[in-house]
Amino acid sequence: MSTERVSAWEAARERLESAARLVGLDPGLALLVIEPERVLEVSVPFRRDDGRIELLKGWRVHHNTSRGPGKGGIRFHPAVNADEVKALASEMSVKCAVVDIPFGGAKGGVAVDPRPLSAGELERVTRRYAFGVGPLLDPDRDVPAPDVNTDARVMAWLMDTISMIRGRATPGVVTGKPLAIGGSHGHVGATSRGVTICVQATFAELGMPLAGARAVIQGYGKVGAPLVYLLSSLGMRVVAVSDVDGAVHNPAGLDPAALSQHTEQTGSVAGFALAEAIDPQELFSIECELAVPAALGGVIDAATAASLGAKVVVEAANGPTLPEADPVLASRGIVVVPDVLANAGGVTASYFEWAQDRGGYAWEADVVAERLRRTMAQAFDATWRQSQALKVPLREAAMALGVERIAEATQLRGLFP
């Protein structure tokens, strides 16, 4: 087997092409569904606190907007590049179609490590990036959200920048905002809740009990940390977690409250006294019922898939499994709930926030929670039925379902001019 890996966009394109063939799309229509509509690269100059000027690169990609405005997060990470952003935008197109919300796919990012930046420097990077991609951003055209290393504070700066440019309040131009400026109840933690709903549905379909089932989680951040609580509340034992600084393992199950307190004090799961330190590379080989990749993409390759100790994988991260790993997982009978379904709770909650901003009326927290549960359950059921009908794994079924819905919208709108 070749050790050369395809790029993120090549991997995404390969899956889109496979889905288009699976549902029998006309080649011309398939091209419209697969290729990005626009890729914008911008320079992001900013002033350091000591007066020095630095120049960064940023991107915003619209993959497909046939079903509605582009929707997708903005990430700040040193490894961000145009190739990755294109791939993530295409996944957003499919994800929005799978959960059947009226958005297309978009994504953005800046190639920067935000950790050493001061709050002032981070704000200046955010505002300059927002100014650069501002011509694309609008509640009816492109609606960003938080992603890796960005949060509600960053979204507030972005919204304010666009509002200054437009000369009017534009709360609907971004989601994941603080409640005080048009955010929504239930947005924080929505991705984790969506993953949990998929875990429950998958175990139910497979006839596997949740009580006592073991889980490992890669990534103890905005998604992984709440998952420790949520899965434990279902009676599962989260036996191992990892982050960028280390990994810990306790076969009896990790104490969610104690682990949270430890990470608040130290900034990492490493050194947690109520668990044994392990090599992060060993995490996925631990014998368990559930593995949840909740960090960055490309972490499950063919070798990792061959040694995976779980029976079910639910992808909380974007693109955690490389195409080379899919046939290995399938041959071993490991059920994979793909990212375009499993982590769609976040974009679903973003849709709810956008709808509230457009309507000027905030929903109660229980309304948001119930609508999220219903939307995710319906998307899971549709994907599971597609998998059974086409006799393909859930990833192929979800991709086929999403591509089919995008193609329908593209065809109905026609080709201009």
Catalytic residue IDs: 107
Q: Which residues are bridge partners to 142 per DSSP?
A: 70, 138
Q: Are strands 246-249 and 214-218 parallel, antiparallel or unpaired?
A: unpaired
Burial degree of 386 (CB within 10 A; 0-12, 13-18, 19+):
buried
* CA count, 13 A, side-chain hemisphere, 354: 25
* CA count, 13 A, side-chain hemisphere, 146: 24
Task: Give 229's contacts (C-beta < 8 A, 6+ positions apart).
Answer: 256, 260
Sign of the dihedral defined by the CA atoms of residues 386, 388, 393, 394, in that order: positive
Rounded Cα–Cα distance for residues 274 and 250 (Å): 7
Establish whether the linkage from the previous residue to 45 is cis, with ω within 30° of 0.
Answer: no
Task: Give 406's contacts (C-beta < 8 A, 6+ positions apart).
Answer: 33, 64, 66, 67, 93, 94, 97
DSSP 363: P
Task: Give 126's contacts (C-beta < 8 A, 6+ positions apart).
Answer: 154, 157, 158, 161
C-beta of residue 388 within 8 angstroms of C-beta of residue 206: no
Tokens of 75: 């990430």
Q: How far is CA 372 from the centre of its chain?
A: 16
Sign of the dihedral defined by the CA atoms of residues 108, 111, 113, 114, in that order: negative
Q: List phi, psi (to 5°) of 210.
A: -80, -40
C-beta of residue 190 within 8 angstroms of C-beta of residue 347: no
In DSSP notation, 135-148 reads GG-BTTTEEEEE-T
CA distances from 328 to 8, 45, 324 (A): 19, 45, 8
C-beta of residue 352 within 8 angstroms of C-beta of residue 331: no
